[in-house]
Chain A
Amino acid sequence: MPVTDVSKDPDALTMTITAELDAGAERIWEMWSDPRQLERWWGPPSFPATFVEHDLTPGGRTAYFMTGPDGQKYHGWWRIVETEPPRRLCLEDGFADDEGNPKEGTSTDGPAEITVTITESDGVTTMSIESKFASREGMEQMMEMGMEQGMVEALGQIDTLLAGERA
């Protein structure tokens, strides 16, 4: 597992995860800047993401949706706060309605503020992600959506396991 450290601060509503990755900083940046690359990893296999708009410059907006196993689409948006390729990216991630517009009450603050830091040292590339809930409300909203998506995913895996046993 490339993950080297995880820390969580429930008072600050922040989770930080650090991973060592076997590629240079430029390649890791590409994972974020190229929407076709992003689509390969942003959503779990049963909730693949499609990036419709993607502008990785400060003030830029990204629009994406994730498609569930039942075909239901969950729309989301990013607002790019800061970029410093290929080292640093700060963005807000929020939920959108079916037209891709931020859901009511979340137009200025997304539920999550994500800071990506990529460092290279002695041939080792480290990517650290800090994900912070902007508010308690944002946290509750994210949790509800996450439960819906994450748990369906987990149940899907159970189905696959059982299918394997039967085969």
Chain B
Amino acid sequence: MLIYNQMVVSDAKSRDEKAADLLFGALADRTRRDIFRRAHEGRLSVSALAREYPISLAAVQKHVAVLEQAELVSKHRVGRESIVHAEADALKHAHAALEEIESAWRGRIERIDRILDEDKGDPDACH
């Protein structure tokens, strides 16, 4: 039973991590961040988006697909147009923001730890 529980926990954890990977991968690109921001401001058609960037329509479609996979935006058809809108999932945003803060602090703690190690390397040194 204990093993089963652990498996469930680790499953949930790797699912979380996978979602975080998708999220950060999606937001690692400047154009995608921009598309995401614009989608927040209102609904946009893919073709209107394509006019905003010096890249092909196919490239914009690819960016939108990455954002969709990370569940940051969704897409639906209106007539001949593909409309992109932001997923208003506040909880998901909070998760991503807290992940970001965690990774910043992990970096800081690692650097503090390294400085403390250096302290010991040369006990006579002034700080």
Number of residues from A at the complex interface, CB < 8 A: 42
Is A124 an interface residue, CB under 8 A from the partner? no
Q: How far is the CA of A40 from the CA of B117 in the complex (A)?
A: 13
Is A52 an interface residue, CB under 8 A from the partner? no
Is B108 an interface residue, CB under 8 A from the partner? yes
Is B9 an interface residue, CB under 8 A from the partner? no
- Is B97 in contact with A139, judged by CB distance below 8 angstroms? yes
- Is A2 in contact with B113, judged by CB distance below 8 angstroms? yes
- Is B94 in contact with A150, judged by CB distance below 8 angstroms? no
Number of residues from B at the complex interface, CB < 8 A: 33
- Is A27 in contact with B94, judged by CB distance below 8 angstroms? no
Within 8 A of A (CB), among B51-82: none
Beta-carbon nearest neighbor of A145 in chain B: B100
Q: How far is the CA of A41 from the CA of B110 in the complex (A)?
A: 9
A30-B127 contact given A15-B105, A129-B105, A131-B105, CB 8 Å threshold: yes
> Which residue numbers of A lie inside 8 Å of B, CB to CB?
1-3, 6, 8, 10-11, 13-15, 17, 19, 21-23, 27-28, 30-31, 34, 37, 40-42, 44, 112, 127, 129, 131, 133, 136, 139-140, 142-144, 146-147, 150-151, 154-155
> Which residue numbers of B lie inside 8 Å of A, CB to CB?
24, 27-28, 33, 90-91, 93-113, 115-117, 119-120, 127
